[in-house]
Chains A and B, each alone.
Chain A
Amino acid sequence: MARSVKQPDAPLPPGTPAPPIDVPVSPDQRLSLEQFRGAPLVLVFYPADWSPVCSDELALFNELLPEFERLGAKVVGVSCDGVWCHQAFARERGLHMPLASDFHPKAALSRAYHAYREEDGVCERALFVIDPEGKIFWSYVSPMEVNPGADGVLDALERLTGTFSSDAAAGQPQQEASP
């Protein structure tokens, strides 16, 4: 493999048609982009099962699944770990979203999304919101050691769906107006 020339902080940008997805999410189940047509899809690329920061990151997205559902969006985690590893990880952590295995051919999916870190052999910590027609609507790569949180994804989903949740309304200044 040639050395990567891409900038680590340049995920596939908004407006780009989302590259096809064909990866296993369990020993006998594969995932495709077509399955998500008609609804926004959130792809959460993370470096590895079991590492502390990813686990916090996935725990947060896991906790927010009802919120994503309310916005009509589906969430899929992606790393280069194998399906059996994903299965054990999901069971141990009580994760309810599918975890896609970008294991073979290694990193085909994360490379296509410019979310692969060649020098470390793992996915970047990258987030994508794909619109219901299969185009990238929003993307973000965070430094490896930083949990990106979910505010960027939720903001993007709200812009995409035109939804303004009660929580966003709660975000308006209440008792104290900002100066």
Chain B
Amino acid sequence: MSRLRIPVGSQDHLIGPPTARLTLVEYGDFQCPYCGEAYWEVNKVLAAMGDQLRYVFRHFPLTEAHPFAMQAAEAAEAADAQGQFWEMHRLLYENQQALDAESLLAYARTLDLDMGRFARDLSEHRFLERIRRDFMGGVRSGVSGTPGFFINGESYVGDFSAPALLSVLQGGDAGVPEYS
């Protein structure tokens, strides 16, 4: 119940070289406070691991619990369409308390995006299907809540502080905790 069923591929948002020995996949929700905490931890992990790690972010918005999560995910995708996924990802997590439509437009303006296109992509829900596909891929891989991590395809459940993640990542491929 705990292997990543959707392999990392060109459809993914990723940081780090394709040759990296380690791949960390996160299923995240922009409105989830735990994902907000994980954002800072993952940043530390990325800084410490450098080229050894490839990091992938996939959407897992729990829209019934987090009413702004879907539109925030759509904003990230709309920014991606203009080449600025990670910049928007950063703005969303660093301003988690303000994910209303007006704030999303303000972030897009900060990134100097084509505003007409950005607003249209949001209002037409152009990326909804893609986000839903990420979500269902996570569900089928056993993601049960956010943030949901996989290290080299194996589910990692537990402490996601930078020291904990680093000790697993730097400990090699073995010893990745797994639940049932």
Q: A interface vs B, CB < 8 Å?
A: 56-57, 59-60, 62-64, 67, 93-96, 142-143, 146-152, 154-155, 165, 167-168, 170-171, 173-178
Near A by CB (< 8 A), chain B positions 125-141 give: 133, 135-137, 139-141
- Please tell me if B47 contacts chain A, counting CB pairs below 8 Å: no
| Given A63-B62, A94-B65, A168-B140, CB of A176 within 8 Å of CB of B7 | yes
CA distance A149 to B146 in the complex (A): 11
Q: Encode B7-22 as 1/0 by CB contact (under 8 A) with A.
A: 1111100000000000
Chain B residues, CB < 8 A from A56: 144-145
**Number of chain B residues whose Cβ lies closer than 8 Å to a Cβ of chain A:** 26
Can you list 20 A-B pairs with a CB-CB distance of less than 8 A? A59-B145, A60-B139, A63-B63, A63-B135, A94-B65, A146-B157, A147-B144, A148-B144, A149-B1, A149-B143, A151-B140, A151-B142, A154-B140, A170-B133, A171-B6, A173-B7, A174-B7, A174-B9, A175-B7, A175-B11
Contact B64 A59 (CB under 8 A): yes
* Pair B11/A174 contact, Cβ less than 8 Å: yes
Is A146 within 8 A of B7, CB to CB? no
Overall SS of chain B's interface: loop
Q: Which residues of A contact B65 (CB under 8 A)?
A: 59, 62-63, 93-94
Interface string of B87-111 (1 = CB under 8 A from A): 0000000000000000000000000
CA distance A151 to B63 in the complex (A): 19
The contact of A167 among B10, B11, B63, B133, by CB within 8 Å, is B133
Residues of A within 8 A of B157 (CB): 146
- What are the residues of chain B within 8 A of A154 when measuring CB–CB? 139-140
Q: Is B117 an interface residue (CB 8 A)?
A: no
Q: CB < 8 Å: which of A57, A95, A177 contacts B144? A: A57
